[in-house]
């Protein structure tokens, strides 16, 4: 399929897990993909290799999306490689960073979690929008935690993701008249390294058992939703947050 042939996509946090699947699926439908990474160059190189092996075009660019200078460098390199315009932006970069109850929630940790999940989306969007023509799309990443407050020790994360929901709605109203749509996906329990690191196996088992579909979600399933929201087939969807959690929470 060439649903996005001729389009340029930028994916922050695009080298692993959900970000990798988003990058791969955007390339599969014809987009040239600029893959941002921060933590692991080997994973980024592997992601580019997978895209190229499937006949796609991609570029990996290192950068801390909480730093305006790094964001600018990312966008500049993407445009140098693929052309002046950027048609799709997917703000995947983010993370829990750790679980801390309020009593242990120091200011430095709070700021770091807010920055990586919320400030990053603002900085990247601000830098990319001037290069987006009418018909472009932005997809942000919130979380089920934004709706239900998150699990134990996820106060800062849930708060940041709640901010992403509001950022999405505000941007949808501001950018809609320019022909730029802004939507959001809010995953529940998805089988990724995120939960391998921060969620105990017994909790994952219990959540899966309590989910109407009786399983965790897959990164590829989230990526399919992102591609839909980024493409012309969703051209009248704007300012929406789509829950993808197997039925554990209804907005």
Q: What is the pTM of this model?
A: 0.94
Question: In which element (H, E) is residue 157 found?
Answer: helix 155-175
Q: How large is the average pLDDT for residues 31-44? A: 96
Residue ranges per structural domain of the chain: 8-190+222-236
Query: With 80 as the cut, is the pLDDT of residue 193 above it?
Result: no
249 is catalytic: no
Q: How large is the average pLDDT for residues 106-130? A: 98
Q: How large is the average pLDDT for residues 160-185? A: 98
Q: How large is the average pLDDT for residues 88-97? A: 96
56 vs 1, residue with greater confidence = 56
Residue with tokens 């290799």: 49
From the list 37, 122, 131, 157, the catalytic residue is 157
Task: Determine the topology of domain 8-190+222-236 in CATH.
Answer: Rossmann fold (3.40.50)
Cα 139–81–63 angle (5° rounding)?
60
For the chain, how big is the Rg over CA atoms in Å? Answer: 17
Cα 134–175–137 angle (5° rounding)?
55
Query: With 70 as the cut, is the pLDDT of residue 196 above it?
Result: no
pLDDT digit string (tens) for 9-25? Answer: 999 999 999 999 999 99
Least confident of 28-37, 182-191, 205-214: 205-214
């Amino acid at each position: 399929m060439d649903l996005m042939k001729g389009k340029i996509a930028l994916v922050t946090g695009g080298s692993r897990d959900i970000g990798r699947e988003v990058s791969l699926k955007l390339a599969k439908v014809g987009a040239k993909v600029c893959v941002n990474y921060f933590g692991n160059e080997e994973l980024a190189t592997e992601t580019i290799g997978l895209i190229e092996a499937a006949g796609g075009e991609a570029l990996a660019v290192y950068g801390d999306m909480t730093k305006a200078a790094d964001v600018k460098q990312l966008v500049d390199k993407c445009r140098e490689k693929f052309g002046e315009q950027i048609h799709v932006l997917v703000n995947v970069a983010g993370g829990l960073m750790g679980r801390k109850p309020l009593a242990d929630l120091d200011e430095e940790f709070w700021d770091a979690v807010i920055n990586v999940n919320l400030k990053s989306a603002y900085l990247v969007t601000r830098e990319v929008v001037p290069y987006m023509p009418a018909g472009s799309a932005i997809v942000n990443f919130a979380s089920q935690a934004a709706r239900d407050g998150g699990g134990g020790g996820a106060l800062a994360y849930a708060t940041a993701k709640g901010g992403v929901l509001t950022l999405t709605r505000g941007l949808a109203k501001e950018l809609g008249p320019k022909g730029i749509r802004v939507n959001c996906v809010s995953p529940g329990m998805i089988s990724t390294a995120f939960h391998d690191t921060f969620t105990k196996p017994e909790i994952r088992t219990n959540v899966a058992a309590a989910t109407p579909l009786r399983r965790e979600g897959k990164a590829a399933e989230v990526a399919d939703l992102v591609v839909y929201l980024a493409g012309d087939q969703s051209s009248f969807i704007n300012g929406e947050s789509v829950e993808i959690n197997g039925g554990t929470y209804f907005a």
